[in-house]
Amino acid sequence: MPHDPDRYGREDAALERLTRRHGGERYRQLNAFGGPYLTVTPIEAVNLVISALHRDAGDVTGEDLDDALLLLGRAREDLDSHELELVDRARLQHGRTWKQVGETVAGDADRRTAQTRYSRLRDRTPGYAPPAPHQEAVTP
């Protein structure tokens, strides 16, 4: 995907619009005191629009749909990063094997499938740094 220098600003504006329209009382209260506007995450924004569509409340506008579509890329990036962290923590800090990860994530006991998926996620998630392996506290 070509670099679009204006995309980040458009995504932030979309997050604010969707939070204002669909974020509910919680976000109205959080933002009642001024300062930078606190918004939902891209994943939450997409879910808010989908939920409104399923309620069929008639309050989803074309702009809401455009905003949700714009945010899908960032939502996917966030999910990829979350998956990497969860897999790393399961393996490094809780001793899960690749076979166990594969069974949990995809219902597939093939460790190679899980490792390949992980490698592909790492390749498309620049800047991700795995957590340090869990170390038990040593008492003298």
Assigned domain for 130 exists: no
Assigned domain for 129 exists: no
Per the CB < 8 A criterion, the answer to whether 80 and 124 are in contact is: yes
Assigned domain for 139 exists: no
Phi, psi of 129 (to 5 degrees): -120, 120
pTM: predicted TM-score of the whole model, two decimal places: 0.80
Assigned domain for 135 exists: no
Question: Please, what is the average pLDDT of the chain?
Answer: 90
Three-state DSSP class for residue 76: helix
d(CA 124, CA 99): 23
Domain that holds residue 46: 7-123
d(CA 135, CA 58): 53
Number of structural domains, the chain? 1
Assigned domain for 131 exists: no
In the chain, % of residues over pLDDT 70: 92
Per the CB < 8 A criterion, the answer to whether 91 and 101 are in contact is: yes
Instruction: Take residue 31 and report the two structure tokens written for it.
Output: 């933002």
Identity at 72, one-letter amino acid code: L
Per-position DSSP letters for 98-131, written without gaps between them? HHHHHHHHHS---HHHHHHHHHHHHHTSTT--PP
Assigned domain for 24 exists: yes
Assigned domain for 136 exists: no
Nearest of 32, 36, 66, 33 to residue 49 by alpha carbon = 66
Write the pLDDT tens digit of every residue in 15-27: 999 999 999 888 9
Assigned domain for 75 exists: yes
pLDDT 10s digit of each residue in the chain, 140 long?
Answer: 456 889 999 999 999 999 999 998 889 898 998 888 899 999 999 999 999 999 987 789 999 999 999 999 999 999 999 999 999 999 999 999 999 999 998 887 788 999 999 999 999 998 899 888 765 545 55
